[in-house]
Amino acid sequence: MKSILYTLKETLLEIFLPPICVICESKEGKMLCETCFGKIKFVDELQKCPKCSLVFYDRVPQKCPDCERLSPKFSKLISIFVYDEYGEKLIRKIKFENKLKVVEEFSNIIRSKLEKIEFDIVVPIPSYTRKWIKKGYIPSLKIARVISENLKKPIVPLIRKSKDIPSQLELSSEERLKNPKNAFEVTVRKINYRRILLVDDVATTTATLCECTRILLEKGADEVFCFSLARTPLKTF
Ligand SMILES: [Zn+2]
Ligand SMILES: [Zn+2]
């Protein structure tokens, strides 16, 4: 009950008060003001792996370490911004401070990047935390909705979690590789869609996306593309 009242209060505040920037709290009428938007590092402006969007900055390795470790079966991972210190701050606002509407500020960029990809449906990766699901608060679903509205593709929740696992963001990189294994299942016996766009908020090692791609292909999908709002860069230290 408390959470419903809280959501109602938040919704009413959104209707009657003009949006405030979630980072600097300026009242420009946007949830992310132009100055704060300008501080974001966009994946497209940096050197990166053409397949998994791992950002290399200046140190371009011969082989992408994430693709080498996981041999992803998805065709391509498309990401918007770098999960650096600033990117993490932004994701924290979106994920933990109930500011899902911030995602809408990226609508134009998301549309222009995904227009080039041929896919039939949008599949969100289920959230890791039961607490959020109870609140109806699932970041990957919000991102999927923005994609669905902008590109006119339906959302089909084809994946559910089959066991409770900790959030990837709380684990070491070695643990992140093993954590998603067998943690998800497809909700139908046979998938009748050809090309799927899998959606998550942050891609760290891509282990979760690889595991979900594996089960979707196993159940009959022809091709899987992935999308994440943020992507971790190659560690340079
Ligand atoms: Zn701002
Ligand atoms: Zn790669």
Amino acid 183: pLDDT: 85
Distance 61 CA to ligand 1 centre (A): 35
Q: What is the mean pLDDT of residues 71-84?
A: 97
Per-residue pLDDT, averaged over 164-182, amounts to: 75
Indicate the number of domains in the chain. Answer: 2
Residue 27 lies in a domain: yes
Q: Report the CATH number at residue 134.
A: 3.40.50.2020
The predicted pLDDT at position 39 comes to 96
Ligand 1 centroid distance, CA of 40 (Å): 11
C-alpha 66 to ligand 1 mean position (Å) = 33
| Residue 193 belongs to a domain | yes
Average pLDDT over every residue of 184-197 = 94
Assigned domain for 237 exists? no
DSSP assignment of the chain = -HHHHHHHHHHHHHHHS----TTT---SSSSS-HHHHHT--BGGGS-B-TTT--B-TT---SS-HHHHHH---SSEEEEEEE-SHHHHHHHHHHHHSS-GGGGGGGHHHHHHHHTTS--SEEEEPPPS-HHHHHTT--HHHHHHHHHHHHHT--B---EEESS----GGGS-HHHHHHTTTT-EEESSSS---SEEEEEEEEESSSHHHHHHHHHHHHTT-SEEEEEEEEEPBPP--
| pLDDT for residue 60 is more than 80 | yes
pLDDT score for 237: 47
Residue 134 domain-assigned? yes
Instruction: Tell how far the Cα of 227 is from the centroid of ligand 1, in angstroms.
Output: 25
Q: Which of 40-49, 107-116, 167-176, 222-231 has the lowest mean pLDDT?
A: 167-176
Say if residue 126 is in the same domain as residue 196. Answer: yes
236 domain residue, yes or no = no
33 in the same domain as 50: no
Whether 156 and 208 map to the same domain: the answer is yes
Weakest mean pLDDT among 54-58, 98-102, 187-191:
98-102
pTM for this entry? 0.87
Same domain, residue pair 160 and 116: yes
Assigned domain for 129 exists? yes
**Residue 114 alpha carbon to ligand 2 centre in Å:** 19
Q: Which pLDDT belongs to residue 70?
A: 93
Is residue 198, in this structure, part of any structural domain at all?
yes
The boundaries of the domain holding residue 34 are: 1-39
Q: Are residues 117 and 210 in the same domain?
A: yes
State the distance from the centre of ligand 1 to the C-alpha of 85, rounded, in angstroms.
Answer: 16
Q: Supply the pLDDT for residue 179.
A: 77
Task: Specify whether 131 is located in the same domain as 160.
Answer: yes
Average of pLDDT values for 185-191? 93
Does 197 share its domain with 98?
yes
Ligand 1 center to 71 CA (angstroms): 39
- Å from CA of 67 to ligand 1 middle: 35
What's the CA-to-centroid distance between 186 and ligand 2, angstroms?
A: 25
Domain co-membership, 105 together with 196? yes
* Ligand 1 centroid, distance to 19 Cα (angstroms): 11
Query: What is the distance in A from the centroid of ligand 1 to the CA of 157?
Result: 34
Q: pLDDT tens for residues 104-148?
A: 999 999 999 999 999 999 999 986 556 555 555 678 888 999 999
10 and 71 assigned to the same domain: no
Is pLDDT above 90 for 1? no
Residues 88 and 3 grouped into a single domain? no
Q: Are residues 32 and 55 in the same domain?
A: no
| 54 Cα to the center of ligand 2, angstroms | 6
Based on the fold, state whether residues 17 and 95 are members of the same structural domain: no
* Among the ranges given (143-147, 178-182, 229-233), the one the predictor scored with the smallest mean pLDDT: 178-182
Q: In the predicted model, what is the mean pLDDT of the chain?
A: 87
Ligand 1 centroid to residue 24 C-alpha, Å: 4
Q: Is residue 145 part of a domain?
A: yes
